[in-house]
Amino acid sequence: MPLNKVVQPAFKLARDGFIVNDALADDLKTYGSEVLPNHENSKAIFWKEGEPLKKGDTLVQANLAKSLEMIAENGPDEFYKGTIAEQIAQEMQKNGGLITKEDLAAYKAVERTPISGDYRGYQVYSMPPPSSGGIHIVQILNILENFDMKKYGFGSADAMQIMAEAEKYAYADRSEYLGDPDFVKVPWQALTNKAYAKSIADQIDINKAKPSSEIRPGKLAPYESNQTTHYSVVDKDGNAVAVTYTLNTTFGTGIVAGESGILLNNQMDDFSAKPGRTERLRAGGR
């Protein structure tokens, strides 16, 4: 499908607006009030008569609609090299940010092989590093495969106990080992190994929660990672697209870049400021 056709639903929604529901009204009041009122461009969109939009109000994002229209007409270069890039760079400079127009122009998306795993006969595909989610999900599923989850029943206390314990172990490994494969070697084969998952499952006591303070990342074999949004689209021919995007925390930085209508994210806090960490801050890191 051509880009201008794909963009149309989002363009119309931004141009014509939509009715604010309970959830959005609550987010604007609870989280938005901490960041959005500090920036006039943001306040002009999400505020009305000195207060955040309420349930029943209409949220119109006219500037975002214009940006989407320009991207539809001119392609990705409009965002990375055109007027939108200029507005992002200017907003960065105004607020003490580090990203320049040259940085945006130099950005290149990288196509990588998905992470895959098998869960009870079902093939699972997910995002590879530098995203930590794909390895993380496969590792958790591998651990859960060692338990008869159907026997415990969906939503039961025992099922929740097993899932929570599996996730605690996986999160410990995620924090220790996952990072940008362009800079560090990510042991994805070891982390998604069935035998390794079995060794973790053997440590899980269904009758007792293990304190997170006692959980350490595993010892891997030598080498030979109301905010984030995800959606999947599958057509009648079985073609599938899975998309995950995020501002990180709710409303990101709270800063809208110029008149673009685009909120800037605060994803930087997902990196570590500690030297030596696999996910530490570094130029060009993802």
- Was 247 annotated as part of a binding site? yes
Strands 240-245, 229-234: pairing kind: antiparallel
pLDDT of residue 224: 38
Q: How many residues does the chain have?
A: 286
Q: Is the pLDDT of residue 225 over 70?
A: no
pLDDT of residue 244: 81
How far apart CA 257 and CA 29 sit, in angstroms, is 21
How far apart CA 166 and CA 160 sit, in angstroms, is 10
Tell me the per-residue pLDDT of 68-88, one tens digit each, with 9 for 90 and over.
999 999 999 999 999 999 999
How far apart CA 239 and CA 250 sit, in angstroms, is 31
Q: Is the pLDDT of residue 21 over 70?
A: yes
- Was 226 annotated as part of a binding site? no
Tell me the per-residue pLDDT of 100-116, one tens digit each, with 9 for 90 and over.
999 999 999 889 999 99
- Average pLDDT of span 228-244: 85
Q: Is the pLDDT of residue 245 over 60?
A: yes
What average pLDDT does the chain have? 87
Q: Cα Rg for the chain, rounded, in angstroms?
A: 22
115-214: CATH topology is: Serum Albumin; Chain A, Domain 1 (1.10.246)
Q: 240: helix, coil or strand?
A: strand
Catalytic residue among 192, 228, 249, 253: 228
Q: Which residue has better confidence, 75 or 249?
A: 75
Which single residue is written with the structure tokens 């639903």? 9
- Was 30 annotated as part of a binding site? no
Tokens describing residue 255: 């800063």
Q: How many CB atoms lie within 10 A of CB 165?
A: 23
Q: Is the pLDDT of residue 119 over 90?
A: yes
- Tell me the pTM: 0.70
Helix axes 3-16, 62-74, angle to 10 degrees: 170
95-104, 203-212, 266-275 — which is least confidently predicted?
266-275
Residue 7 per-residue DSSP state: H
Q: 212: helix, coil or strand?
A: helix
pLDDT of residue 260: 87
Q: Is the pLDDT of residue 221 over 60?
A: no
Which one, of 66, 188, 195, 179, lies nearest residue 130 by Cα?
179
Of the pLDDT bands very low, low, confident and very high (cuts 50, 70, 90), residue 183 is confident
In order of 68, 129, 171, 178, the CA distances from 132 in angstroms are: 29, 6, 10, 6
Q: How many CB atoms lie within 10 A of CB 253?
A: 23
CA-CA-CA-CA torsion sign (212, 216, 218, 222)? positive
Strands 122-126, 229-234: pairing kind: unpaired
Q: 209: helix, coil or strand?
A: coil
Which residues does 74 contact at the CB level (< 8 Å), separation at least 6?
82
Is residue 169 within 8 Å of 215, Cβ to Cβ?
A: yes
Of the pLDDT bands very low, low, confident and very high (cuts 50, 70, 90), residue 59 is very high
- Was 202 annotated as part of a binding site? no
Tell me the per-residue pLDDT of 127-145, one tens digit each, with 9 for 90 and over.
898 888 899 999 999 999 9
Cα 180 to the chain's mean position, in Å? 15
Which single residue is written with the structure tokens 């079985």? 238
Q: Is the pLDDT of residue 182 over 60?
A: yes
49-58, 223-232, 251-260, 264-273 — which is least confidently predicted?
223-232
Of the pLDDT bands very low, low, confident and very high (cuts 50, 70, 90), residue 223 is very low
pLDDT of residue 215: 66
How far apart CA 64 and CA 259 sit, in angstroms, is 8
Q: Which residue has better confidence, 263 or 47?
A: 47
pLDDT of residue 226: 60
228 is catalytic: yes
Tell me the per-residue pLDDT of 165-178, one tens digit each, with 9 for 90 and over.
999 999 888 888 88
Is residue 141 within 8 Å of 123, Cβ to Cβ?
A: no
42-56, 89-103, 182-196, 247-261 — which is least confidently predicted?
247-261
